[in-house]
Amino acid sequence: MSEQTVKPATRGAGSWLRWTVAAVFGLVYSFAIWVAIFALVLASQGNSGLTPAGVGVGLMPVLFPVLVYAGIVVVGRRLWVWKQALLFLAGFALVGVFWLDVVMLQVAAQSSLVGAG
Amino acid sequence: MSSEPQGAPDPAPEHGAAEPTLARGWRAVGKGADSVHTEGEPVTDPPSATADDDDSEAKSFAGDEVVHEDQPVEAGNGALLGIGILAGVYLLYVIGWFIGGNRLDVVGDLLLANGPIYTIVKWTAIAAPAVWFAVVFVLTLRSRTWVRFAWLIVGVVLLVPWPFVINWESALMGGVQ
Q: What is the DSSP string of B41-86?
A: S----SS-----TT-GGGGTTTTPPBS-SSSPPPP-HHHHHHHHHH
Query: What is the reported pLDDT for B49?
Result: 43
Structural domain count, chain A: 1
* Angstroms from A82 CA to nearest CA on chain B: 10
Task: Look at A17-31, B54-68, B140-154 and tell me which has the smallest mean pLDDT.
Answer: B54-68
Q: Is pLDDT of A40 > 70?
A: yes
Q: Is pLDDT of A46 > 90?
A: no
Residue B173 to residue B176: CA distance in whole angstroms? 9
Average pLDDT over residues B146-165: 93
Parent domain of A66: 15-113
| Residue A4 maps to a domain | no
What's the gap between Cα B33 and its chain centre? 23
Residue B150 to residue B113: CA distance in whole angstroms? 39
Locate the chain A residue with the closest alpha carbon to B117: A35
Task: Look at A41-55, A97-111, B6-20 and tell me which has the smallest mean pLDDT.
Answer: B6-20
Average pLDDT over residues B51-72: 48
CB distance B89 to A41 below 8 Å: no
Over the stretch B120-151, which tens digit does the pLDDT of each residue have? Answer: 889 999 999 999 999 999 999 988 889 999 99
Please report the residues numbered 105 through 134 in chain B whose beta carbons come closer than 8 angstroms to any beta carbon of chain A.
Answer: 107-108, 111-113, 117, 121-122, 124-125, 127-129, 131-132
| Residue A47 maps to a domain | yes
Residue bearing the bigger pLDDT, A38 or B159:
B159
| Residue A72 maps to a domain | yes
B111 contacts in A (CB within 8 Å)? 39, 42-43, 103, 106
Instruction: Identify the CA nearest to B66 among candidates B77, B50, B80.
Output: B50
Q: Is pLDDT of B32 > 60?
A: yes
| Residue A7 maps to a domain | no
Average pLDDT over residues A92-105: 92
Residue in B61, B121, B158 nearest the CB of A35: B121
Q: Which of A84-98, B19-33, B54-68 has the highest mean pLDDT?
A: A84-98
CA distances from B64 to A26, A116, B6 (A): 28, 51, 42
Integer-rounded Cα radius of gyration of chain B: 25
> Using the beta-carbon criterion (under 8 Å), do A32 and B136 form an inter-chain contact?
no
Interface test with B, best of A104, A110, A112, A113 (most B CBs within 10 A): A104
3-state SS assignment for residue A16: helix
Residue B16 to residue B140: CA distance in whole angstroms? 36
What's the gap between Cα A107 and its chain centre? 21
Q: Is pLDDT of A112 > 80?
A: no
| Residue A105 maps to a domain | yes
Nearest-10 Cα torsion for A36, A42, A48, A50: 20
> Using the beta-carbon criterion (under 8 Å), do A100 and B121 form an inter-chain contact?
yes
Residue A37 has, within 13 A of its CA and on its CB side, a CA count of: 9
Q: Which residues of A fall below an 8 Å CB-CB distance to B?
A: 8-9, 11, 32, 35, 38-39, 42-43, 75, 78-80, 83, 86-87, 89-90, 92-97, 99-101, 103-104, 106-111
Residue in A43, A78, A93 nearest the CB of B124: A93
The β-bridge partners of B22 are B38
| Residue A55 maps to a domain | yes
3-state SS assignment for residue A67: helix
